[in-house]
Structure 1
């Protein structure tokens, strides 16, 4: 055996989604993402993006982690690790929050819902195993963490999502944005319970549906049989969330960045600001009071050349930031980006330059989102 053979690494196994064959049969181009084969596009990113903005797109997000936290005091225990007011959540209510390192850096962003059986937590696929290990390490032993591996997660997004879904799952139209509940689907003699929230990551109205993996194909078929619905890939999901000004963990957030730098001060609830008591609270509350040294902002790009992740941003000769997400925005008709820009240069309207392939491209700090959100909020006028 040669030295090279002796130290040859085992190939990393790429996992399959419950709907892997379904995606391929629909003509999806599959890529590796977060340890899974994922559909990046079907008929094309631009067409899928526009379809979702105008109709309803079905996304398979089963790579994400679905966790159930149970046990007395689970909400209060979780509050040591996140800056949100979790114990105040009433059943069926949701909160966006951040999993914090001991120094206040962001380990992940997550959705936390008060469910009848405990706290239902959705975490990012790329770091879900790390998240589970971290939660097991820091939560008390009496808190049980159930990884719901036997469930798929589908997201139906777009202005016509509610019209399509209520035909398949009656009653979902009663939900408002950031509300969730148990709904029954299928024949009355043997209905299947689904956990459905009115939420998503496109900026549009929509739903996320937790379904047993064994029934995911049947549900996906029924949804795509609706005239408003087409399957949509990861490519359009990324351009939609970028237009909506929504950060992608591992790109726009990481453990070196705190919530205030990440323009996520809204995730630090009022009570937690007053009481502290969460990981990194001194650092985070100081940044909240005095302003962060850098901040995640939107950037409008002059011309047609996209500015990609990793591009340096300059004010004259001085580098003052870096791009973390960027690409062409179909709904805007121009390239857009998000990135971290130093204090003193990140005010809305500030003109800077990004370096792309050795050339300078003019960028302007822009307010987020680039495209208005269309969430179905309670009390909002329709």
Structure 2
């Protein structure tokens, strides 16, 4: 044993005495505490650094999740659009080929105009498919339209008359509520026209409408500053006075188009037409009156025509409609075009 007195002697050992409490304190401090103490770094600074690292990693994780979610949404929309396009174009390109005898129907509804469902492009696409089908015993134009473009109607009229001769198939027009103006222009290409007694038929005329604000502008003290290269470039401008020469020119053009309409009606109706002073005046009549005037042939619905006239009760619709996929493509094309124009304008300004 060591004498306590020996510790005071020179050369005595200075080894610290082991105690359990001292060892546990050393363990609690750990290597980090020893390292921080050795490097002189405060414990609070190390805690802040660890917290910042955790925040940075959390932010990075959230950004990765957001990016993945955006990519997923874009991919989902892409798959959806591809599916819609495939389904839509597949439906629009499906050609009917029914070998059993049937009556082929093509709807002509709404305003007849380019870009509408009652455009020459869609109507003739449907009519050609009906004519080319061997099972179609006749083509029926189911009409419910107030009219529209004489250009579109003239194109349809000419092509139907050509297809009748080419395929040697009869064409019938069946009128529902109305068959006026450009719609009647199309109907006279048919071999016979069937109407309801209350249908509206006729309106064989042409119009060009607009407004003139010159008098109002003078009262308000507004001066119209229109510059043109060419004396008639401002023709039909609503804020400029119309000259007598311009009015006569417009009237002559309307008369010419009207005469084209009259010729089509006379060609289509032939001797059945009971012409009088009002026939080509732009008036319209009920279905019963139209039959009396020779503008229509007899009363009848689509079912009546299929059953009693065509002798093929099965009715198959050949109408081609602007489907969802085509509308999406058109809207996308319009949006893309607008974006290109905007980008071009922006770049021009920046330059």
TM-score (structure 1 length as normaliser): 0.20
TM-score (structure 2 length as normaliser): 0.21
Larger helix fraction of residues: 2
